[in-house]
Amino acid sequence: MSDILELLVSAASSGCIYGLVALSYLVMIRPTGIINFAVGEWAAVGLFAAFFLLTNRWLPLPYALALIAAVAFTGLIGWGTQRIAVRPLVEKGAPILGPILALLGMLAIFRESISLIFGPDPHNLPAPFGLRQVSLGPFAGTPRDFFIIGCTAAVFVGVWLFFERTVWGKAFEAVALNRKAAALMGINLRRVTVAAFVGGAAIAGFAGVLYSLTAPRDFLMGLPLAVQGFSALVVGGVGRVEGAILGGMILALAEQLTARYADQIGIPSGMSLGVPFLLMIVFLLARPTGLLRPKEAAA
Amino acid sequence: MTRAAPWLAAAAAMIAVAFLLKDFGYYSDQYRKLMLWVALALGFNFLFGIAGQVAFSHFAFYGIGAYAVVILTFKAGLPLGVAVVLGLALCAVLAIAVGIAATRLEGFYLALATMAFAQLFLVVLTEGGAVTGGAGGIANYRLPALELGGRRFTLTGPYYTSLIALVLLATFFVFWRLDRSYFGRACRAIRDNPEAAAAMGVDVARTKIVVFTVTSVLAGAAGMAYAFVDNIVNPPVFGLENVFLLLFMVIIGGSGRHAGAVVGAILLYMLPYVLTPLIGHHQALVFGIVMVAAMLFRPDGLVGVYDRLRARYGRGAA
């Protein structure tokens, strides 16, 4: 029994990271329709920026400040990415595939830049609260698991409030529902796109920082994380913020259950690597809107 | 006669190169791989550039072809010819299954579903135990001897290189003919506007499935040729990185044009030789920059640049 509860805590913490990556996609897809595969690379940027800020010789920052600065830096990278690879194509009226493919080029640029600067070795952030086991009621886990879960909950509440309670959030929704009508109502599409990419990048950067708390990561971490995050998004549905975290949790739970119990029924436990792909295929084909339906437009 | 002449000349030239390189093992090996990349790029160009399907499963079918021929020949003990036919049939069956499922998806969602399929294939290879050899793959096999008219002979060295040249030319011929047929025009029509194509009487779903199947089976055929180049098949060769490279090749060369695929494949295959002394093993950085630049400034690729230059300075300018 305690075995299962422990598995739940560790699944919840990796589910949180998948959920954050899914949220990063969602923030960009809703208003622009662009699936940005470079989110994994942004996560790597966030992680390596935090690593650099914490451990550099000249001005090592305190932990919390380094994380915030790294997330802000990733947001800046997000602005740069959309300025270079998205805005010129959108303004030229290129089909939506144009920016998506250009962003794949950016993915290669980010990845190689990181490997050029930091080398091929894996890096990780020092754990913020040590590694001893702590218990929270019946749930046992490491402090970092609870740190990841708490931070993710805060981000999701923040983004949910943004979409539901602010004028900017309403503008995002309006653009998602009908781009042309939204523009005619005086919403600045360019600004919404910038906000989507900066916000998406900051979320991805934060996901990368949290991701490195669980294990050392190298410059190749981006693409697998991007795939897992997208799989979570497909499971949960692109329509709603809650979908991202729900998808992340389902994916992480399915992965961990396969990794732990599959060989008891004769499937190699390494097959858990295939779980995100299997879920993605099943949901794309059988339920392309994901588990949660998008809300109907208010009449 | 006149129509066959260019093809015969190309075959003769490519085979001549194969024999010129026969004493230079390394270059001969690179020549074989370059030809296989060109064959893959031609197929990917037909799928992506002409039919407008962004499918990331192209390298998976290359891998399925390679693994199928090796497993059927050396694990199941079938004769090579039977293994080749069965392997191609397997590629076709899988491609039809994926293709039918994929007709429900549009745009980049197709890319993601096919990518998931390709990655699932890699996981199966890695976890396949004794059948696929796991992460290390299968090695230590040789092309079995063929029997023709009671004589046994093995294709080695320049003869095998010539075989690859013929596979490449056959691939090119198939795509070239398809492109100039009703089928090719239907593909382009679907790429540009599926509703309009359907209204003009094109069977959109069937055309999409056939395109996907033909390109995937030919990728499988190239994979079979690859299996005896290095005499080893292992999972990393068929990974996602390579299909991105294929996409970059086609876009940088000029998507939708056979010449673009050939130019892009040759350029991106050769570029690392120039770049490695300059920046080490970070060629992908340059590929990424060129890719973004191509998307921004010349979506029709290098072939488009050539067309422009010729229109401005060439014979057509008058």
Q: Which residue has the tokens 């893959």?
A: B40
Q: What is the pLDDT of residue A131?
A: 61
Cβ-defined contact of A288 to B292 (cutoff 8 Å): no
Alpha-carbon gap, residue B6 to A129, rounded angstroms: 71
* In the predicted structure, residue B68 carries a pLDDT above the cut 90: yes
Mean of per-residue pLDDT scores for chain A: 86
Interface test with chain B among A101, A220, A258, by most B beta carbons within 10 Å: A101
* Distance set, CA B228 to CA B21, B85, B187 (Å): 18, 16, 34
Q: What is the pLDDT of residue B317?
A: 47
Average pLDDT of the segment spanning A231-255: 90
Residue in B108, B112, B117 closest to A97 by CB: B108
The residues in B 193-222 lying below 8 A from A, measured between CB atoms, are none
Average pLDDT of the segment spanning A251-264: 86
CATH code at A66? Answer: 1.10.3470
Mean of per-residue pLDDT scores for chain B: 88
For chain B, how many residues are written?
Answer: 318
Q: Is residue B47 domain-shared with residue B72, that is, in the same domain?
A: yes
* In the predicted structure, residue A297 carries a pLDDT above the cut 50: no
Q: Is residue B21 domain-shared with residue B91, that is, in the same domain?
A: yes
Answer whether A245's CB lies under 8 Å from A156's CB: yes
Most confident of A44-58, A129-143, A268-282, B11-25: A44-58
Q: Is residue B125 domain-shared with residue B260, that is, in the same domain?
A: no
Q: What is the pLDDT of residue A132?
A: 67
Q: Is residue B91 domain-shared with residue B109, that is, in the same domain?
A: yes
Q: Indicate whether A212 belongs to any domain.
A: yes
Q: Is residue B204 domain-shared with residue B105, that is, in the same domain?
A: yes
Reading the block at residue A57, the tokens are: 């010789």
Q: Is residue B30 domain-shared with residue B63, that is, in the same domain?
A: yes
Which among B199, B221, B238 is the end of a domain? B238
Interface check A107 vs B, CB under 8 A? yes
Q: Indicate whether A294 belongs to any domain.
A: no
Beta bridge partners of B139: B232
Interface test with chain A among B245, B291, B297, B300, by most A beta carbons within 10 Å: B291
Q: Indicate whether A146 belongs to any domain.
A: yes
Q: What is the pLDDT of residue A1?
A: 59
Percent of chain A with pLDDT over 70: 93
Interface check B106 vs A, CB under 8 A? no
Q: Is residue B224 domain-shared with residue B254, that is, in the same domain?
A: no
DSSP characters for B238-258? Answer: GSHHHHHHHHHHHHHH-TT-H
Beta bridge partners of B232: B139
Average pLDDT of the segment spanning A89-109: 89
Closest CA to B29 of B179, B158, B182, B185: B158
Which among B238, B260, B277 is the end of a domain? B238
Closest CA to A27 of A204, A206, A249: A204
Q: Indicate whether A175 belongs to any domain.
A: yes
Q: What is the pLDDT of residue A129?
A: 66
SS3 at position B218:
helix
Alpha-carbon gap, residue B154 to B144, rounded angstroms: 7
More confident call, A214 vs B90: B90
Residue B155's contacts (CB-CB under 8 Å, 6 or more residues apart) are B143, B146, B163
Average pLDDT of the segment spanning B12-37: 86
- Containing structural domain, residue B143: 5-238
Average pLDDT of the segment spanning A293-298: 55
Q: Which residue has the tokens 């997330």?
A: A71
Cβ-defined contact of A111 to B244 (cutoff 8 Å): no
Q: Is residue B152 domain-shared with residue B88, that is, in the same domain?
A: yes
- Containing structural domain, residue A227: 2-286
Cβ-defined contact of B119 to A277 (cutoff 8 Å): yes
* In the predicted structure, residue B221 carries a pLDDT above the cut 90: yes
pTM for this model (two decimals): 0.89
More confident call, A278 vs B280: A278
The interaxial angle of helices B240-253 and B58-70, nearest 10 deg, is 130
Strand (E) or helix (H) holding B147: strand B146-148
Q: Indicate whether A62 belongs to any domain.
A: yes
Q: What is the pLDDT of residue A296?
A: 53
Would you tell me how many other CB atoms lie within 10 Å of the CB of residue B46? 27
Percent of chain B with pLDDT over 70: 97
Q: Is residue B45 domain-shared with residue B125, that is, in the same domain?
A: yes
- Reported as a single tens digit per residue, the pLDDT across B240-295 is 888 889 999 999 999 889 999 999 999 999 988 888 888 777 888 888 999 999 98
Q: What is the pLDDT of residue B27?
A: 87
Percent of chain B with pLDDT over 90: 40
Q: How many independent structural domains does chain A possess?
A: 1
* Region of poorest pLDDT, from A286-290, B10-14, B87-91, B287-291: A286-290
Average pLDDT of the segment spanning B96-111: 83
SS3 at position B291:
helix
Interface check A251 vs B, CB under 8 A? no
Q: Indicate whether A37 belongs to any domain.
A: yes
Q: Is residue B128 domain-shared with residue B178, that is, in the same domain?
A: yes
DSSP characters for chain A? Answer: -HHHHHHHHHHHHHHHHHHHHHHHHHHHHHHH----TTHHHHHHHHHHHHHHHHH-SS-PPPHHHHHHHHHHHHHHHHHHHIIIIIHHHHHHT--THHHHHHHHHHHHHHHHHHHHHH-SS-B-PPPTT-S--EEETTEEE-HHHHHHHHHHHHHHHHHHHHHHHSHHHHHHHHHHH-HHHHHHTT--HHHHHHHHHHHHHHHHHHHHHHHHHHS-B-GGGHHHHHHHHHHHHHHH-TT-HHHHHHHHHHHHHHHHHHHHHGGGGT--GGGGGGHHHHHHHHHHHH-TT-SSPPPPPP-
* In the predicted structure, residue B63 carries a pLDDT above the cut 70: yes
Q: Which residue has the tokens 């899988």?
A: B94
Q: Indicate whether A218 belongs to any domain.
A: yes
Q: What is the pLDDT of residue A293?
A: 66
Question: Exposed (0-12), middle (13-18) or buried (19+): which is B183, by Cβ within 10 Å?
Answer: middle
Amino acid of residue B238: F
Q: Indicate whether A295 belongs to any domain.
A: no
Q: How many independent structural domains does chain B possess?
A: 2
Average pLDDT of the segment spanning B192-206: 89
* Region of poorest pLDDT, from A30-39, A175-184, B79-88, B147-156: B147-156
Which among B238, B265, B282 is the end of a domain? B238
Gap from B4 CA to chain A (nearest CA, Å)? 38
* Region of poorest pLDDT, from A115-124, A160-169, A286-295: A286-295
Answer whether A133's CB lies under 8 Å from A141's CB: yes
Average pLDDT of the segment spanning A1-19: 85
* Region of poorest pLDDT, from A178-182, B212-216, B261-265: A178-182
Q: Is residue B284 domain-shared with residue B301, that is, in the same domain?
A: yes
Cβ-defined contact of A277 to B105 (cutoff 8 Å): no
Q: What is the pLDDT of residue A81?
A: 94
Q: Is residue B109 domain-shared with residue B193, that is, in the same domain?
A: yes
* In the predicted structure, residue B101 carries a pLDDT above the cut 90: no
* Inter-chain contacts counted by CB atoms under 8 A, chains A and B: 111
Closest CA to A203 of A171, A246, A159, A163: A159
Interface check A82 vs B, CB under 8 A? no
